Structure 1
């Protein structure tokens, strides 16, 4: 039978079927072209996250108009973002988590496949803090706790800058949060920022969850303000316990105590502080002072006197490295 001899109804059906077939084929080829960007091999160091499994009994998501590979991996709990486990995040599709299923294709930004940001290896869990630095020549470390305080931290920074000396500042989170510009100045001038808890509690009296909050919140605040999390921490009152060592290590920090206590927290006056620093000066010594928590005018005045003396005696005032 020739096409001209077909019944009009049959010819109409065949034309509709042919049109539908052409439309479907065009859609598939377009999907393959766009999907090539999403399914390309990840760059060096990147991690491909698996698609999230559907919970038993939950309704299936609407079918996408193209193969699932073209849409990239779906959100999966425990996926890696910048090398850190983030619940509910997954690779380049993390930003779409929680939204309605996409109804079309989107090109992913090229940065989606860049290597994860470098992260330091976690330190071991210590059983005691460091009390001094490695004795390489006449080296000493100056440390200041409890700040920053707008009354005393700026003049201490001025003195350090005048003599081109770097120091360590162990910050309380609530003080750092209240004085962000001072935190940034300390960092910008090359000093090392350490974690001194959020509210200066007696650590051994706290539950582990509270210790984690005290240390974790402070590290997060310092990182938010300076772009880098602290690598050192010091327990308030020098009171450490096993939980603080474990949690500090989990947060990537080493514990640092001190060798010489100036006892400036008793507000003894500049003369007494200078005398204690002079008597305790030795290679590897870590000096404890405070730039907040009380009247620290004696600390400010004493630093202006003993710092040039230490330098004249051949001491190198520096900071520990990790």
Structure 2
């Protein structure tokens, strides 16, 4: 009997790691726009086998589509407690149309690119090189365990002028349902890891894993000086259906962003274990740059 060699075991192990960090997108409408239950500030995620074990792909379901990207939102709650740094896309101007009144738009005509789940030692440097080539700043939503493992990448992200966002310590999809003290401890632990890597770097934003915001999650983040950011464009770059080729995946991501990005959009993507996302952005960044002012939140 022949047993698989070390290369086969390494391949299987790598696949399991990628599966564990699958991403944090939402369920989508037929036209590709994200959905959540508008009647509740705490949307119900779809069942997921990756809950509490690493980045997963929970979804929200409901009949209501998010508002079209653009500045201002009549009737939106403007009594947000997070600080207002006084820059494009700051929390005091952002559209609060997401779950638990998280932000779905920059509040200006500018478009924000956001990348989740990193830093990744292979993909994050490639993305940073691409952004630097085009003189674009983005927002990086960092998982604390990955920050602790790769502090040099966090220092580089901050040094190159990108915005840092707290994406919790281990990407628990149920953290928002825990007691405020547990939420605070998790977010503070992640902030501390980021500041050990990049002392003094501002952390203006928090993004709940899977977009699973709750009022308690948003409130605790605000107490720590962070605004809560959802998104308005989700190309589901974390989702790799069986049988989808790399080329087809890149094309799907490319077309979704091109079709759904409008003025004031916050675009969700992932740098962790997503080489096809970086490849798609080689085309997307020049396309977006020719049509929108791209900002870091």
Say whether residues 1:157 and 2:128 are aligned partners: yes
Structure 2 distance, partners of 1:228, 1:135, is 24
Q: Report the structure, 1 or 2, having the larger helix content.
A: 1
Separation of aligned partners in 1, 2:250 and 2:203: 30
Q: Secondary structure at the match of 1:143?
A: strand
- Contact 1:220/1:229 (CA < 8 Å) preserved in 2? no
**Match 1:275 to one of 241, 255, 275:** 255
The corresponding residue for 1:317 is 294
5+ long unaligned stretches in structure 1 = 1-120
How many residues are aligned here?
Answer: 195
Matching residue of 1:212: 184
TM-score normalised to structure 1 length? 0.58
Selected match of 2:271 from 291, 294, 303: 291
Aligned-residue offset at 1:211: 1.1
CA offset digits 1:106-131 (Å, max 9, x no partner): xxxxxxxxxxxxxxx95499841010
Partners of 1:133 and 1:122 in 2: how far apart?
Answer: 15
CA RMSD of the aligned region, Å? 1.9
Instruction: Say if 1:167 and 1:319, in contact at 8 Å, map to a contact too.
Output: yes
Secondary structure of the 2:135 match is coil
Asked if 1:185 corresponds to 2:156, the answer is yes
Question: Which of 106, 114, 120 in structure 2 is aligned with 1:143?
Answer: 114
Higher RCO (C-alpha under 8 Å, 6+ residues apart): 2
What is the rounded CA distance, in whole Å, between the counterparts of 1:193 and 1:135 in structure 2?
A: 20
Alpha carbons 2:82, 2:227 under 8 Å: kept: no
CA distance in 2 between partners of 1:230 and 1:222 (Å): 8
Q: What displacement does 1:152 show?
A: 0.7
| Partner Cα distance (2:106, 2:265) in 1 | 7
Give deviations 1:194-221, integer Å, cap 9, x for gaps: 0000000022342322211211111111
Is the aligned partner of 1:201 residue 2:172? yes
